[in-house]
Amino acid sequence: MLSTCFIHLKTQPLWIIILSLLGFLSIVKNTIFLLKWIFIKIFRKPKNLKNYGSWALITGSTDGIGKAFAFQLAKKGLNLILVSRNLSKLKNVSSEIRAKYPNTLTKIFGIEFSGPNISARIIEMKEDIKGLDVGVLINNVGVTYPSAMFFHEVDEEIWMNLVRVNVGGTSLITRGIIEEMVARKKGAIVNIGSGASIVVPSHPLYAIYAATKAYIDQLSRCLYVEYKHYGIDVQCQLHL
């Protein structure tokens, strides 16, 4: 039967053979992707996050995705370092978590990621958490436009604020935490990106926001390669 197929192919024009080969390779690629997805979702056991360390640090932890991460990590038995700009909200979230998970230890630290003293504040935070085995870092801090705008309409302070928070804030926090992970040769970093960066072909009217999230995606890819031999897992989670 196989020889019959080869004989049949020899009688076909070259362009049909090339298209058939490309189609076959595409099927193989997608089949491998599907099998990998099935293995990860169904058969692979979830990692015990406590193996990375007993503490997790979460930025942007007072609302939305960051707050949800905080509760999920507390549920898994990790102690939490909650970082955000609003101390009042931080105290409320910390109280909510400890009410639901009494055995969870929490520390809060207020940082204004768009402020001029962010580097100094991160140094202060590192001193405050010195000695804690921070094994998980969730970089959720981020801002966007107040509303959809053409690029030339965006006020300079708005787009500078976007870059300071989304790019600078995430980079500085990561650099501050990853050093200890390297020393312990283990850790996990999850950066919260956006489908605006790579999932859709473009994200008009939010150009600078999409560009900052593309930075987060590429930063994650590079750090994964740089630090995997240190036992540090890095990934970027994209949401739409």
Neighbours of 142 (CB within 10 A): 24
Instruction: Mean pLDDT check: name the lowest of 1-5, 28-32, 116-120.
Output: 1-5
Q: How far is CA 114 from CA 53, 117, 141, 169, 173, in A?
A: 29, 9, 11, 8, 13
> Could you tell me if 99 and 167 lie in one domain?
yes
Find the domain containing 7 and state its range: 2-43
Whether pLDDT at 2 is above 60: no
> Could you tell me if 24 and 90 lie in one domain?
no
> Could you tell me if 53 and 129 lie in one domain?
yes
Whether pLDDT at 4 is above 70: no
Whether pLDDT at 176 is above 60: yes
Instruction: Mean pLDDT check: name the lowest of 5-9, 20-24, 86-90.
Output: 5-9
> Could you tell me if 38 and 59 lie in one domain?
no
Give me the percent of the chain exceeding a pLDDT of 70. 90
Whether pLDDT at 223 is above 80: yes
pLDDT (0 to 100) of residue 182: 97
Give the active site residues: 209
Average pLDDT of the chain to the nearest whole number: 89
> Could you tell me if 121 and 74 lie in one domain?
yes
Nearest to 211 by CA among 203, 219, 222: 203
pLDDT (0 to 100) of residue 62: 94
* Total domains, the chain: 2
* 174-201: average pLDDT: 89
Say which CATH number the domain at 149 has.
Answer: 3.40.50.720
Following DSSP, what letter does each residue of 188-227 receive, concatenated? Answer: EEEEE--HHHHTSS--TT-HHHHHHHHHHHHHHHHHHHHH
pLDDT (0 to 100) of residue 55: 98
pLDDT (0 to 100) of residue 43: 63
pLDDT (0 to 100) of residue 199: 66
> Could you tell me if 16 and 108 lie in one domain?
no
> Could you tell me if 138 and 171 lie in one domain?
yes
pLDDT (0 to 100) of residue 198: 74
> Could you tell me if 20 and 79 lie in one domain?
no
Instruction: Mean pLDDT check: name the lowest of 1-15, 79-93, 113-127.
Output: 1-15
Whether pLDDT at 29 is above 90: no
pLDDT (0 to 100) of residue 5: 61
* 99-106: average pLDDT: 97
* 157-167: average pLDDT: 93
Which pLDDT tens digit goes with each residue over 126-159? 999 999 999 999 999 998 999 999 999 999 999 8
> Could you tell me if 104 and 197 lie in one domain?
yes
One-letter amino acid for residue 15 of the chain:
W
> Could you tell me if 151 and 54 lie in one domain?
yes
**Residue bearing the bigger pLDDT, 195 or 147:** 147
Nearest to 194 by CA among 215, 170, 221, 171: 215
Which pLDDT tens digit goes with each residue over 43-70? 666 778 899 999 999 999 999 999 999 9
